Structure formats: C-alpha cells, structure tokens
Amino acid sequence: MINIAHAADIHIGIENYGTIDKETGMNTRLEDFLNAFDRFVDYSIENCDIAIISGDMYKSREPNPTQQRELAKRIKKLSLKIPVVINNGNHDQPNSDSKARAFDIYKILEVNNVYVANKPNIFLINTKNGPIQIACLPYFPKSFLLKLEDSKNLSIDEINKKMVEKIDSILSILTSKLNPSIPSVLSVHLSVTGAVTSSEKSIMIGDDIIVPISVIARPQYKYIALGHIHKYQVVWDMPLTVYSGSIEKIDFGEEKDEKGFCHVIIDGDNVTHKFISTNSRPFKTIKIDVESDTPTEDILERIKSLDLSDSIVRLNIKTTKEIDKHIRYREINKLLLQKCYHFVGIKRDFDIDKGSLRNPEVNERLNPIDALSKYFLSIDLDVDKDELIKRANILYKELREEVNSK
C-alpha cells in the first residue's frame, strides 16, 4: 500500500488583497499561501510515502528571493522525510528556452529526494512502502509548436489539433517505457475535457488547449494527478483522474470553492482518495438590496450581524440613485474596515428604467471586442467575463482573416 499526497497550483507569490506584516515584513497574503502549503507539508510527512506537486509552484516564472527562500524551507522539510516530485506548470515556464527555471537550483545542488520535471520524464522512486513510477508531462506551451516550420499559417483549430496529437505522442512514448510490474502515476499540468472552473462553467472557451480525457486517462496508470484547474474535482474514474485544485483562494471567482489537496491510496488494484482541506481564507460578497427610508442603518445592521473577522470582503449594494444620495458611505467603510481581515470596496448597482437607452459608451465607433468589454462592465454576470472576451477575440480574428482572404 502506497500513500500519495497530491497538490497543485500552489502559486507562491500572489499578494492581492494583502498588506505588509510588520513583524515578518512579508505580505499577509503570501503568508496565507505559505500557511496552506505548510498544512500540505505537515500532513504529507505524517500520512504519506511520497508527495507529488502537479505544477505552478510560483505565481511568476521569476519569483523573488523571499518567495524562493520560504518555499525552499518547506521543500527541504518535506524532502527530509519523503520523496517530492515537482512537475512544471505554465507559471513555472520561462519565456525563453535559454533562461533558467526557478527549480533548476534543486537539480544543480543535487538536493536529495527532490525530483523536478522540466521536460517529459519518468522517475522510479523507492518509497518506504515499495517502488513507484511517476511519469511527468509538464505544461506544453503553444509556442513550442509555433516554432516548427510545418506549423506556420495554420488556423487556431489546426494548431490545437496538432498540439493534442503531440501530447498524445509524448504520453504514448512515456507510457511505453513503464515497467508494468511497478505501480505508476501520471502527473500532468493541462486542461482536460469535462473539467469545470470555479465559475461552474465547463472548460470550452479561452486560449487553453483542451485535451480529450481519453488521451490522458490510460489504463497503465493507477492514478492521474492533474494540475492547472483550480477547482477540486474527479474527472474520470478508471483510472482515477483528479484535479486537486489550488491550495488557497486567489480571488472572488473562487469564493465558493473548498481548497486543499488529495491523499491517494494505492492498494494493489484498489485506488481511493480523499480531499484534505487547507481551511483557506474566506472570501465573502455581501449583497444588500436597499429600498427603505433608512438605508445606512439597514446596511450597518446587516454588516454587524455577520462574522467577517478572517474574511476578504466586498459589498454590493443595489438601490436607486435617489436612495443612494442618503447613504453615509463613510460610516459603512469604517465598520467594514474594523470587522474584516481585508475590505475590498463597495460596488453600487442602480435600478434603472427598463425602457432606457443602452449604455452610451457602447457605440458604433468601437470595434466589437471593445464594445463587448464595455458592455460586460455595465452588467452583472455570474460567468468568467475575461474568458468570454478571450474567446470572442479569437473568433473575431478568425472572422477577419476569413474575410480578408476572399
């Protein structure tokens, strides 16, 4: 029986909604992410035989010395007890092949028990409960394919198809090198069909390559450890294929997500897992419809009734322009700053006449993408607007190319 700790999307370096801790000198949000990773390290040491991290250790491909120091402390602590496999994600990739990766230092210093995959590779690792093979496919950027001569002048769909074919080929080569008598796990950092983002929408839009699950979920592996999508989810059963999700919330798009990592148990042909929460910092959106003659008092009473002490908070107020004139926002801001960990701000939505004219900023002088962006700013949609704009931009470029070619 082999116990595996599987995490991904650690994103050390994200500091939005944070302040400087006067005692440590570090951003408080950096501390949140480090604390979440500490929970992964401590749990792994106590309960598991090996740790697999499926990409995106840092927010940036060039982390600063403080971020590298703090992560190195934790990797050292973990590797002194159990083997650690680190697979590179898109945030770990340098923008040039000639540049070093942040994790090259572990290979150069030959840090014991740390295995880093900068390229497709298989690691045969002896754990205290027996040997295991960890196959790694790091993030595969489009730029790799676009450099090839036979990829020039291809459409976006043709490029995506070639990317999937290349990933399929690489995985076939990796898989063919496995020893079938030793249990194998595959770590990959990419988007697969059927995955769901934090906004509850399937991964079918945006600039990512979407790889069919059939390419990834191969029977030679006992478990597929996925990274790249921040929402924990099981995407396939045979073999068990799981996004562990990110370990800490990044923004309000992940407000409703539970964050953590996976504890995987391989017992012969029986493979099970459980999700372990890191108790990430809460994000809370307070929505208040204000219609009364005492708007400030009603808002303050609602805020006082909520437990916001550890939360990152934003306030959405829906009212009319007439009532808004009587709201004492200074008092509301003061209370929220006292009650919550971090107060983002107040968004005001005004009820308008349904027969009123469209947003005057959206006019015929704008190109379709700019018009769509301004339109999205004026409405409240429970979707990933940035992803929709990316997809619209791709479609708009394809349409212009098609028109210009005639």
Which residue is listed with tokens 């116990």? 3
Whether residue 142 sits in one domain with residue 21: yes
**Ramachandran assignment for 28, one of left (phi > 0), alpha (psi -120 to 50 degrees), beta (any other):** alpha
Distances (CA, A) of 46 to 7, 50, 264, 319, 370: 16, 11, 14, 52, 52
Tokens for 186, please give them: 């595959």
pTM of the model: 0.82
The answer to whether position 245 is within a domain reads yes
The answer to whether position 151 is within a domain reads yes
Q: At which of 277, 305, 326 does a domain end?
A: 277
Whether residue 290 sits in one domain with residue 256: no
Whether residue 65 sits in one domain with residue 30: yes
The answer to whether position 340 is within a domain reads yes
Whether residue 141 sits in one domain with residue 111: yes
Please check whether residue 239 is in contact with residue 219, taking contact to mean a CB–CB distance below 8 angstroms.
Answer: yes
The answer to whether position 170 is within a domain reads yes
- pLDDT, residue 62, reads 85
Range of the domain at 349: 283-401
Whether residue 395 sits in one domain with residue 321: yes
Whether residue 306 sits in one domain with residue 259: no
Whether residue 359 sits in one domain with residue 393: yes
Which among 89, 327, 102 is positioned nearest to 190, based on CA atoms?
A: 89
Please, which residues bridge with residue 315 across strands? 286, 346
Tokens for 46, please give them: 């106590």
Whether residue 311 sits in one domain with residue 230: no
Whether residue 301 sits in one domain with residue 249: no
**Along the 406 residues of the chain, how does pLDDT read in single tens digits?**
999 999 999 999 999 899 898 888 899 999 999 999 999 999 999 999 999 999 999 998 889 999 999 999 999 999 999 999 999 988 777 665 656 677 777 777 778 999 999 899 999 999 999 999 999 999 887 666 666 556 667 777 787 888 899 999 999 999 999 999 999 999 999 999 988 887 555 444 445 788 999 999 999 999 999 999 999 999 999 999 999 999 999 999 999 999 999 999 999 999 999 999 999 999 999 999 999 889 999 999 999 999 999 999 999 999 999 999 999 999 999 999 999 999 999 999 987 644 444 555 566 667 787 777 767 665 655 556 666 777 777 777 767 765 665 5
- pLDDT, residue 204, reads 43
- pLDDT, residue 189, reads 95
The answer to whether position 372 is within a domain reads yes
Tokens for 180, please give them: 């079938």
Whether residue 272 sits in one domain with residue 147: yes
Query: Per-residue b/e over 354-369, b at no fewer than 16 CB within 10 Å?
Result: eeeeeeeebeeeeeee
The answer to whether position 406 is within a domain reads no
Whether residue 246 sits in one domain with residue 156: yes
The answer to whether position 147 is within a domain reads yes
The answer to whether position 26 is within a domain reads yes
Domain holding 135: CATH number?
A: 3.60.21.10
Q: At which of 260, 277, 294 does a domain end?
A: 277
What's the structural domain count of the chain? 2
Whether residue 37 sits in one domain with residue 135: yes
Q: At which of 239, 257, 277 does a domain end?
A: 277
Please check whether residue 317 is in contact with residue 333, taking contact to mean a CB–CB distance below 8 angstroms.
Answer: no
